[in-house]
Amino acid sequence: MLVGVERGDGPAQAGRLAERLLAYRVFPDAEDRMNLSLRDTGGELLLVPQFTLVADTSRGNRPGFERAASPELAVALFRELTDRARLLGCSTQTGEFGANMDIELVNTGPATFLLHVPQA
Whether residue 119 lies in the annotated active site: no
Whether residue 50 lies in the annotated active site: yes
Which member of 13, 27, 51, 119 is catalytic?
51
Whether residue 78 lies in the annotated active site: no
- Contact predicate 13/77, CB 8 Å: yes
Span between the terminal Cα atoms of the chain, in Å = 23
Which member of 52, 57, 93, 119 is catalytic?
52
**In this structure, how many other beta carbons lie within 10 angstroms of the beta carbon of residue 73?**
16
Which member of 13, 27, 41, 50 is catalytic?
50
Annotate 35-82 with DSSP letters as a single string.
Answer: EE-HHHHT--EEEEE-GGGG-B-SSSSS-B-TTBPPHHHHHHHHHHHH
The residues carrying an active-site annotation are: 50-52
